[in-house]
Chains A and B, each alone.
Chain A
């Protein structure tokens, strides 16, 4: 208590001025607060939901907006932004090379198929808030609710298909049917959400089974390879054999032509000779004989002439000639 007067003594003279006009200071301060509190900015992708005493009044478009200070509250809802929920994986950093994390989300993606096998399905739901009022006031935790709906719907669809359909032929159908079901349940709950797209990222066999599924693909490839190799082998051998067969036949044709022509040629020559021979057989024969001898004698090696008694020397001569060929001309 003793210190207070000291304080007042230390106060600068301007402060006294302020304390005198304290009510104006307060009024001014409140006015500034009210001023700031009476307008608000709504970003491009948002809508501002204005509530007066907790009651929904209106929605404010993007830009500068006014409200009753202290009484009106604004909640911002990003209605234009496309939002997404990932199942079975999470994007850890997005960009040109996005990275994903799958570990720990197996519970979301592993599900039973209609033939009681298991499949690992990863998907993403892209959605927009199309009714801010419903989004805020109809369902508590609308985002979590959408996750629950998506998981239940996906399992309902996959539960009505075989594992083969889910993994191969039926993929597109799974995505489109799940989208329909999700939207139907969302409408039923009045979540105020519009499903833009439902994308099936990946439908795989569970990890322990994967190698055997890949084995099937490999075996299919092997089958094609074996068949193609056999076909290639066939195509390498058969056309060549057909060509060779054609060659054999052509050669035979050639032989036939040459054989007949030769025969005709020889016969023609013989006939001509014969027509002369018939006129003077002996002379012709002698002439032919001598012509032949003239022709062949110079080509021969040794020529030995003996008389009829000398036949006994022939064996001796043969020995001397040591294997050389002998032609004996005794009587034509």
Chain B
């Protein structure tokens, strides 16, 4: 009898603990819970974390995230308003704001993600198709700092925009939120993660960039050659100027000296007829001295003055 009593106690204890375990449930910090009874939601969502209780077996706890959840868009190839094909990769963060509605309309996260795909991808495509590319890229009318040389050759400035990236993102978010209003979710932030050219467009952009750079390089090279020629010309002009100025000065100095010398000579040699005679005589004597060497033969006529001198000396 004692054994049966002990066994019964064990069974009762087991049943009580099973019931208790089924009645109790834990709500984590990042979760919220909807209690359903035979599939029908009961009461408000439980958002406070901690140990909670429900009617065992009859009620089921359905857990939902309370945190910001991620949504990552599919990279779509979309033409912009100005007919440029681009890939747009977007992301969003969303939250379950009304778990009850969410549970009714979407059921679980997979359903929610697929609805978000429909809504956000659709809105993105609409927005891209109704704006020029530059509106999707730029977010302000900032003025670019440009380098003089490059700006001379290629367009180095930024085109002004009417709406801009930030505003387009906000518009998509607003429209998407309107469409998701009765789904119990809210899109908290939507952004373009990546925008890139489609393959063919990218190639033409590369070609354009290459030709722009080549133009800049050509300009640099021709500037170099031009400047080098200018310096060379300056060098040659300077050289000729220096040389000719030196020649002019030198000749002026020489001429002045010649004139001075002539004046000195004239003053001495031309002061009287006797001076002129003496000068002519001395000069012709000097000329003898200069013109005569051992190759020279002298034929002296006996009636020459010189012979007369010699004769008188001999005697």
A positions within 8 Å CB-CB of B: 51-56, 107-108, 110-118, 136-141, 144-145, 148-149, 151-152, 155-156, 159-165, 168-170, 185, 188-189, 205-206, 208-209, 212-213, 215-216, 218-220, 222-227, 229-231, 233-234, 237-238, 241-242, 244-246, 248-249, 251-253, 255-257, 259-260, 262-264, 266-267, 270-271, 273-274, 277-278, 281, 285-286, 288-290, 292-293, 295-297, 299-308, 310-311, 314, 317, 321, 324-332
Contact = CB atoms under 8 A, between A and B. Distances in A.
Contacts of A264: 264
Interface string B89-133: 001010000000000000000000000000000000000000001
B145 A169 contact: yes
B250 A248 contact: yes
Contacts of B191: 148-149, 152
A300 B220 contact: no
A245 to B, nearest CB: 3
Contact of A110 (B72, B146, B196, B313): B196
A108 B303 CA distance: 125
Given A259-B258, A270-B269, 15 more contacts: A114-B134, A118-B197, A155-B192, A164-B150, A189-B189, A218-B217, A245-B246, A260-B261, A290-B309, A296-B292, A303-B298, A306-B301, A325-B296, A327-B288, A327-B298
A45 B290 CA distance: 114
Contact of A302 (B205, B229, B277, B297): B297
Interface stretch (B10-18, B35-43, B152-160, B178-186): B152-160
Contacts of B67: 137-140
A249 B246 CA distance: 6
A155 B69 contact: no
B28 interface: yes
B295 A324 contact: yes
B179 to A, nearest CB: 22
B231 interface: yes
B83 interface: no
Q: Interface SS of chain B: helix, strand, loop or mixed?
A: helix
Given A53-B50, A56-B29, A249-B253, A160 B296 contact: no
B138 A159 contact: yes
A300 B244 CA distance: 48
Contact of B206 (A148, A206, A267): A206
B195 A233 contact: no
A331 to B, nearest CB: 6
13 contacts: A53-B51, A54-B27, A54-B31, A114-B144, A115-B156, A145-B70, A208-B210, A215-B214, A223-B221, A241-B239, A293-B306, A327-B297, A330-B301
Interface in B39-79: 48-51, 65-70, 72
Pairs A-B, 5 closest by C-beta atoms: A223-B224, A256-B257, A245-B246, A252-B250, A263-B261
A204 to B, nearest CB: 12
Nearest to B303: A308
Contacts of A263: 260-262, 264-265
A325 B158 CA distance: 97
B93 A139 contact: yes
Contacts of A51: 28-29, 49
Interface in B145-179: 145-147, 150, 155-159, 165-166
A31 to B, nearest CB: 20
B131 to A, nearest CB: 13
Nearest to A313: B299
Nearest to A294: B313
B285 A137 contact: no
B309 A115 contact: no
A219 B216 contact: yes
A137 B28 CA distance: 9
A212 B213 contact: yes
Contacts of B189: 185, 188-189
A145 B68 contact: yes
Contact of A145 (B26, B93, B213, B257): B93
